[in-house]
Structures are given as structure tokens and as C-alpha cells.
Structure 1
Amino acid sequence: MVISTQPDWLSTDVVDLAALTRWGNREGLFGAVSDITRIGGGTQNVVLRLRWDGRDLVLRRPPEHPRPGSDKTLLREIRVLSALAGTDVPHPGFVAGCTDTDVLGVVFYLMEAVDGDNPGEELGEPYRSDADARHRAALDTATAVARLAAVDHEAIGLGDLGRPAGFLERQVPRWLDHLASYDQVAEYRGNRLPHVAELADWLREHQPEQSCPGLVHGDYHLNNVLLDPVTPRVAAIVDWEMCTIGDPLLDLGWLLVTWPEGADPAALTGGPLADLGGLPGRAELIEAYAAHSDRDLSAIEWYTVLAGFKLAIVIEGTYARSLAGEADPEVGLRLHRAAVARLEYAATLAR
């Protein structure tokens, strides 16, 4: 058995390579762990790319200071990625998961590394030079989430992942309560977001009949996909921690409300891709989804308004924490402005 040396930058509080290697041996992974690099900033989950037993893998675990529900979240991801094997949904292949917290102190799992470009980061070819490639890959973000919505969640063993009954009815009161919880931050106390009451009333009054229950990614946008470096398409959907069973049209609404329009320095998602130009408009995304789905999209504006309502409240939490000195003030202000912009856009749709 060969145990690799812990890199200088990698604290054993994050991953104890000796313990990881012993566990991997029991799972059929042998040899040294090497070429370890950290992906992302690590403020949420810790994500490491590594080489092990001749394979490029990614290890995902909770943050260095886990939250109370961190292990439960990772267990959900393990379950979802395992179940998606064999479907036509683009996703990282699940390799192995560890639910024994005696190994690393937390739940963690390994998945196949996916070669691909994140639209929210620096892009390579063909996307840098080919507008048609950018357009086709961007359209495939709608196609990919339509494929997710078409999966028979019961057949793949995810029938009890969420509570689809009353999914839409729960959304407005849930997120109003969430917004109200920010008043616990003395520096924030009082609603600082526009149109909230107006949009809550509109959403209740215009709620459509719920779409057929299915898998909902829960945070579907350009920064949560990887684009194939050869063929303009989605190579993988990533970050499955919010996945549940509900109304899948909320994912399309989420994609639409986060969609960047032109070169926008304040874009929440996909800024580097949008800066290069050539992206489809929202109407084209809806058409691409419709071509791969039999769902009724006549109320898609309602889902887009709901997505904007929910997203604004979620990211406003960072602003509230920043006022209390618990988050970066610049990031908090930027997200507050983005929350206001999402609500302004949602209000325009509702009118």
C-alpha cells in the first residue's frame, strides 16, 4: 500500500490523505493520491481534483467548518448522483461515497472528473473564438435540464427524495419566512427589498396547476454546468445539493431569471461566456426546452417570477450577514444590488 504525502497547502483538517487512502483501498482504489488541486474558493463545500489509481477524480466534502446540515447535504448528493447513472442527464459519474464520519470526520464522496469549461470562469476553445459554438452550447443548457425533468424519479429510486404534493403552494410562505428571519440581524432589521409583497400576492393569485412531479436541480444556472471542450454541449450538470422532487419547471424559470444579457459586469452567472457574445435569448431557451419536453410551458413567466422572488431572498442573506460583519461587505452589497435587479425584472414580468 502506498500513501501519498500531504501537500503543504492541504490541511489534515480538510482531508487526511492517509485516512483517505486506507478507505480507498477498501473501496478498490490503489496506489498513491497525487496531483491534488483545489477547485473553487471553499466557502461552501471543499472540492478537490486529484489523480488516483490511474483515474482523474474529484473529491467533494463539506466546508472546513461544517454547518449542522452539511453531512445530510452530502448524503443527498451521493444518492442523487448514484441514481442518475444510466440516464441521459449529463452529470459527473459517481465513484464511491463514505458515510462513516470516522474516516475524515465528515461525509464525502468521489466522482469522475469532467473535462469541461465553466461559463462563469475562463473559457477555452471552441468557445473563445466560435460564436456558433457558444450559441449551441448555451441552448443545450435548456435541453439538458429538460432531460432531467423527463427522468422517471420513481424508477431510479428517488421517489421519496422530496414532497411534491403542495410544492408550489409552499414556495411563497417559505421564502417570506426566510426573508423575515433576516430581521434577527439587528443591522438589517426591516425589509430592504422592493416589490416583495406585490410579487407574493401576484404569485398566489396566478399560481398555475402544478406540473407533473419530477427531479428539480434547485440551483440551475450557467455557473452550475460544464461545457464540453470538443462538442458544443453540456458535458455535466454539477452542484446537486439542492436537488429534490417538485415541479421541474422551476429549474427552467431559474435558468431564465439568471440568464445574462450581453456584456454585463454585474451578471450573476455566465459573465465570461456572455461577454464573448452570441448567446441565445430567453425565448430561444424556452423553445429549446419545449423541443425536448411535453410539459405545458404556457405559465413559464410565473415560474420565472417565482425563481426571481426566491433567488433574491436567498442572496439577500449574504447582504444581511455582511451588515453584521459576518460576510464580505463588497460581496454583500453586490448581491443586494443583484437581488434588487432580479425583483425589478420579476415585477416587470408580473405586470
Structure 2
Amino acid sequence: MPVYARTVPVMERHRFDAASLDRYLRGHLAGYRGGLEVEQFDSGHSNPTFFLSAEMADGRRRDFVLRKKPPGKLVASAHQVDREFRVISALARTDVPVAPAHLLCTDDSVIGQMFYLMSCVEGRILIDPSMPAQTPAERAAIFDSMNDVLARLHKVDPVRVGLGDYGRTGHYVARQVARWSKQYAELKTEDIPTMDKLCAWLPEHIPPEDPTTIVHGDYRLGNLIVHPAEPRIVAVLDWELSTLGHPLCDLAYNCIGYHLKEPPHGFATVDFHKLGLPTESEHVAAYCRRVGRDRIDHWNYYVAFSLFRLAAIAQGVYRRGLAGNSSNPDSAKMSKAPRERAELAWSLVG
């Protein structure tokens, strides 16, 4: 039986007209024959994500994943599932592992919001980086594979895969600081002094190095599918925040867990040697070897920027939870996350 991430019955606030979807798929998905079954993954909180199973022309059932925009009033620059569809379609021609994309529907009348459909890749979602069920050797191999896939992504030529206009070239950090500062201001629910300090300090201290690559934007273990039985990455998920940008911001975001203490995402206090996990410096050094870098200057800036960005994102999740628009049932409990992440970021640079 295939191994997938955990699913639950479709949450009431994310229910849609399955009969309408069935009619659409009959006309747009090659080989589709009906028998549609729909459940919801308990992850993919920004853009609601659904597990679909259907009968196909060869007489077998096939599994798919549908990602759509959430309901309700949305921030203009967020939840662009059409961009997710575009980037995974382009990367399918590279050595970056992604789920095969099938179709994009921009007609809101079908299920209420724009959505796209991709194949369901068999494997495991390991949310906790300490991976308690794995052996030290398996943990080391999974972290190394995660590192390798990120380096592969950053070595892809955007123009060559048709993504030359997927974002602007250069000045990524400045644009991101401005974007997340604005979004935080629009969605803030209380005053957080360290966020105000970061909004002022970060744009004044941007490192001079300014390369441009394809960046994932939320590259972490929980957004990767690990092979069902082997310690390697078989697909990268959740490309909502992807664009053309600074690769060191992607790497720093991937290292945030080294600075956070609370599980499941934080693992700053674990015994790395005992678990078989690389230290932050070892993880960064492995990446540098793979992309041909000698060193990284201003590392703390990139980590602080990533924590600042994560604080702004957490603020958005919390605000959507208060409004009842989030697919994460615990989003309304995230009131402390923006402050904690902002204070940690400021401690690195303030």
C-alpha cells in the first residue's frame, strides 16, 4: 500500500463541490474516468492541500494532490498557486525532484478558488528534524540529501528552464524586507518592538553580495518527501514562496532549526553527534562544497533576515486563524510566535 502523509476528512471551512470538480476533471485530465474520492492533508496550511483518488482509463485507481487558494479575503501577493504550478512544471526537466504537474484551473467557478493538480508522490513527511524513528546513519543521509537537493536547485539556470522572468534579478533582500515589513504592518495584532527594530535595521545593513538563483522560500524538512524506505529526498513540496532570489537566504532559512529550541521545527538543544545530525557549520560547509563557495560572509544577517521573515509569516497565519481562514486548526494559538522569532532575530544582529 502506498505511503503518504496523513490525511483527514475535508475540514468544513475548506469543503468544495466535489461533483463540480468531477465534471471538470472529466474534460481536462487525460484518462480520468470518475470515482472521485477526496480527503485533506493535515499539512499544507497556507494553501489547503487535498488527496484525490480516481479511476483511470487503464482500470486502475491513481492518486493525485490538489492545492488551491484558501477561502476569504487574501493578501494580494500571497497564495499564488499558479506560480507553484509553473515552477514545478519547469523543474520537472531538471535534477531537482518535484511532483509531476498535470493541470492548472484558474476558473473560480469550479471549486471556488484557483487550484492545480499534481501526482501524489509516495513517501514520508518527517516534520521533526530530530527524526526519532530513524537511526543516526539514516538521519545523516536524509540531511545530506536535503542539502544536496537545495544545492541542485540553486545551480539550475532559470533562463534555461523558462523561468527567467519568474522574479526580478538582484536586490532580493531589499525587496523581501520591504514586502514582509508591509505585510506584517497590515496583519499585526499587537506591538512587537523588535519587529519594528528589524524593519528599520535590516534594510540599512544588507550584505553587498547579490547573486540571483531560483529560491524555494520555505525549504525545510517538513516540505520534503523522503523515500518510503530509503534515506533520500524524492520530492520538494510547497513552492508558494518560490521566486528568483538570493540563494543564501534559502540556505539560512533551512538552518533556522539550529536556532529554535521548540520542537517540532526547532532542534537547537539536541546532541547532534549522538543523533547523527550535522552541526550548522557542517551543514553550511557541505552546501558550500556543492556550489563551489569558499565561505559565507555576514551569515548572521541571513539567519536574522530569515527569522524576521518567518515572524511576519507567523503573524499572517495567526491573523488568518483569528479570521477562520487558515487550514491549520492550531493557527489561532500562534500568538507568541511572531514575537519569539523577532526577538531571536534581533539577538543575532542587534
TM-score for both structures, normalised by structure 1? 0.79
Please give the alpha-carbon distance, in whole angstroms, between the structure 1 residues aligned to 2:108 and 2:325.
28
How far 1:341 moved relative to its partner? 3.5
Please give the alpha-carbon distance, in whole angstroms, between the structure 2 residues aligned to 1:173 and 1:68.
15
Does structure 2 conserve the Cα–Cα contact (< 8 Å) formed by 1:48 and 1:60?
Answer: yes
- The sequence identity of aligned pairs, in percent, is 31
Give the 5 Å matches for 1:219-258: 219-258=218-257
2:6 is aligned to none
2:179 is aligned to 174
Q: 1:14 to 1:173 in 2, by over 3 A?
A: same
Give the 5 Å matches for 1:88-103: 88-103=95-110
In the alignment, does 2:197 pair up with 1:192? Answer: no
How far 1:242 moved relative to its partner? 1.1
Please give the alpha-carbon distance, in whole angstroms, between the structure 1 residues aligned to 2:235 and 2:324.
36
1:31 is aligned to 33
Please give the alpha-carbon distance, in whole angstroms, between the structure 1 residues aligned to 2:185 and 2:24.
47
The alignment partner of 2:285 has SS state of helix
Does structure 1 conserve the Cα–Cα contact (< 8 Å) formed by 2:192 and 2:339?
Answer: no
1:84 is aligned to 91
Amino acid at match of 1:279: L
Q: 1:82 to 1:158 in 2, by over 3 A?
A: same
Please give the alpha-carbon distance, in whole angstroms, between the structure 1 residues aligned to 2:78 and 2:305.
29
Please give the alpha-carbon distance, in whole angstroms, between the structure 2 residues aligned to 1:24 and 1:96.
12
2:150 is aligned to 145
The alignment partner of 2:33 has SS state of coil
Q: 1:256 to 1:207 in 2, by over 3 A?
A: same
1:50 is aligned to 52
Give the 5 Å matches for 1:255-334: 255-259=254-258, 266-267=262-263, 269=265, 277-295=275-293, 297-319=296-318, 331-332=331-332
Does structure 1 conserve the Cα–Cα contact (< 8 Å) formed by 2:70 and 2:79?
Answer: no
Please give the alpha-carbon distance, in whole angstroms, between the structure 2 residues aligned to 1:70 and 1:33.
36
How big is each residue's C-alpha offset from its partner over 1:244-271, in whole Å with a ceiling of 9 and x where there is no partner? 111121111111123476xx5x336277
The alignment partner of 1:194 has SS state of helix
How far 1:16 moved relative to its partner? 2.3
How far 1:210 moved relative to its partner? 3.6
How far 1:179 moved relative to its partner? 3.2
Please give the alpha-carbon distance, in whole angstroms, between the structure 1 residues aligned to 2:322 and 2:25.
43
Amino acid at match of 1:45: N
Q: Could you say what the CA RMSD is over the residues aligned between the two structures, in angstroms?
A: 3.7
How far 1:130 moved relative to its partner? 1.5
Q: 1:212 to 1:249 in 2, by over 3 A?
A: same
Please give the alpha-carbon distance, in whole angstroms, between the structure 2 residues aligned to 1:82 and 1:286.
29
Identify the range of structure 1 (46-55 vs 280-289) with the bigger mean alpha-carbon deviation.
46-55
Amino acid at match of 1:171: Q
Please give the alpha-carbon distance, in whole angstroms, between the structure 1 residues aligned to 2:345 and 2:216.
21
How big is each residue's C-alpha offset from its partner over 1:79-136, in whole Å with a ceiling of 9 and x where there is no partner? 1111111211121111222233343343222111112221227999xx7141210122
2:141 is aligned to 136
Identify the range of structure 1 (137-146 vs 11-20) with the bigger mean alpha-carbon deviation.
11-20
Amino acid at match of 2:225: L
How far 1:178 moved relative to its partner? 3.2
The alignment partner of 2:202 has SS state of helix
How far 1:140 moved relative to its partner? 2.2
Q: 1:66 to 1:57 in 2, by over 3 A?
A: farther
How far 1:219 moved relative to its partner? 1.6
Please give the alpha-carbon distance, in whole angstroms, between the structure 1 residues aligned to 2:316 and 2:174.
23
Amino acid at match of 1:269: H
How big is each residue's C-alpha offset from its partner over 1:290-312, in whole Å with a ceiling of 9 and x where there is no partner? 12213562333321111112212
Which of 8, 17, 20 pairs up with 2:19?
17
Amino acid at match of 1:136: A
Does structure 2 conserve the Cα–Cα contact (< 8 Å) formed by 1:260 and 1:269?
Answer: no
Identify the range of structure 1 (295-304 vs 76-85) with the bigger mean alpha-carbon deviation.
295-304
TM-score for both structures, normalised by structure 2? 0.79
2:4 is aligned to none
Does structure 2 conserve the Cα–Cα contact (< 8 Å) formed by 1:38 and 1:49?
Answer: yes
Please give the alpha-carbon distance, in whole angstroms, between the structure 2 residues aligned to 1:153 and 1:306.
24
2:42 is aligned to 40
Residues paired across the two proteins, number: 331
